[in-house]
Structure 1
């Protein structure tokens, strides 16, 4: 029970990687606040979490800055503290570089980058009290410069930048800030596999371990590690949980 009694917030946690992390942390004893816009999926995930520990559900649009402060305040009111913040939610649309519009940039930064910043700022006073952990999300789209991913890559690399700054500024106060760059078999990827099996197989063959990660067992377990005391001496790092696809130097 590596996270016994800990309290965490995970954005975008009704399904996919977010759900995998929520379940992995709940099974280690953490109380988890699910934040998502999908009420049906959110309720299903909350019911699963409540089999192991006590959770909360917030159906909110986190592109609105006030949402972060409201959620943090409600979680602290319910559980008395905040130990873990995971900024996972992000929405973007693909387009070639020359077709990437301001609207596409606004969508990616408005749902990914800015909410990450807002939640970090809102959570900081509480994380300072608990010497807490922040886990943000990077992407191979930004690290490797994947085609048609301009707005997503830009927002993800911006998240990496502010995470490193926060790691340096908050380190003396005992707050750890790290990132995960994942590849996982999410519901969206499963749909893509059905619609484009040849492209899926081509992508799979580029992964040295020849499989996509499991949201709970692969991504979730790394998140548990980073949220636990086992990672107390790690900060400002990007963890490539991608089957060996990208090797950072």
Structure 2
């Protein structure tokens, strides 16, 4: 028996690929939660569906939808509701951006990429999931970043989108609290397949980075990030809302 047997979560960017989304999907699947996973890569979604259904006996719906297109998001949410009859949790994880470009190097198109794939996507999914979340007295977990919290170099559009998501989440916590919906933000520092490749190519730079993390490691997408998202969606966290959790091994200290 899992915490979420019979419940349903939408996880954006939840396909298989060694990132946060896959860690989230696995953590929720282990709790018996049926999943609707979105992404751009159909193969990664289908691979995730096959493995999650085989290992954990849940149902998985794959959705290829552009989060920045409200009509596509509305159709995707309706498809989830029609398939499962409910939506209990919304996890907005997907994000694209022109990382590494300085602010003055950014074009409007670069900025649009971050804002539409992140901020608008979170807004559209929250807006159209609200009636179902209200009925279920469910939860929203949105993902932001230390890029916005700490003003990291070369991350202006990404940081802007993520800080917009944080602000919107706090407002939703205020407006949706009476509906029994809690809304929170996670800012993660995670070992991904891309980071693992960087570690192999630049071991000295990796070790220098690790020295700045008191815990001495990067977070694990499933056990550190996914399990925290599970907690935030559980009854144990029903009184936690409007908060930002920096899951960064002690390197994300702030007032």
TM bracket (short chain): over 0.9
What is the CA distance between 1:78 and its match in structure 2? Answer: 1.0
8 Å contact 1:83–1:130 — kept in the other structure? Answer: yes
What's the TM-score, normalizing by structure 2?
Answer: 0.95
The count of aligned residue pairs is 249
Name whichever of 187-196 and 42-51 sits farther off. 187-196
What is the CA distance between 1:213 and its match in structure 2? Answer: 0.8
Match of 2:9 in 1: 8
Match of 1:219 in 2: 225
User: What is the alpha-carbon distance in structure 2 between the residues aligned to residue 54 and residue 144 of structure 1?
Assistant: 39
What is the CA distance between 1:194 and its match in structure 2? Answer: 2.7
Match of 1:46 in 2: 49
Pairing 1:209–2:191 present: no
8 Å contact 2:40–2:65 — kept in the other structure? Answer: yes
Q: 5, 27, 30: which one pairs with 1:27?
A: 30
8 Å contact 1:3–1:224 — kept in the other structure? Answer: no
Give deviations 1:142-180, integer Å, cap 9, x for gaps: 001101111111110010000000100000110110011
Pairing 1:120–2:126 present: yes
Runs of 4+ aligned structure 1 residues displaced above 4 Å come to none
Match of 1:238 in 2: 244
Match of 1:73 in 2: 78
8 Å contact 2:66–2:73 — kept in the other structure? Answer: no
8 Å contact 2:174–2:242 — kept in the other structure? Answer: yes
Q: 60, 67, 72: which one pairs with 1:55?
A: 60
Q: How does 1:94-105 map to 2 (within 5 A)?
A: 94-105=100-111
What's the TM-score, normalizing by structure 1?
Answer: 0.97
Match of 1:140 in 2: 146
Match of 2:157 in 1: 151
8 Å contact 1:23–1:48 — kept in the other structure? Answer: no
User: What is the alpha-carbon distance in structure 2 between the residues aligned to residue 105 and residue 155 of structure 1?
Assistant: 9
What is the CA distance between 1:77 and its match in structure 2? Answer: 0.8
Give deviations 1:205-226, integer Å, cap 9, x for gaps: 1111010111111111001101
What is the CA distance between 1:101 and its match in structure 2? Answer: 2.1
Give deviations 1:80-135, integer Å, cap 9, x for gaps: 10000000000111211222221211110011110000000010111111111000
Match of 1:86 in 2: 91
What is the CA distance between 1:247 and its match in structure 2? Answer: 1.4
* Corresponding residue SS for 1:199: helix
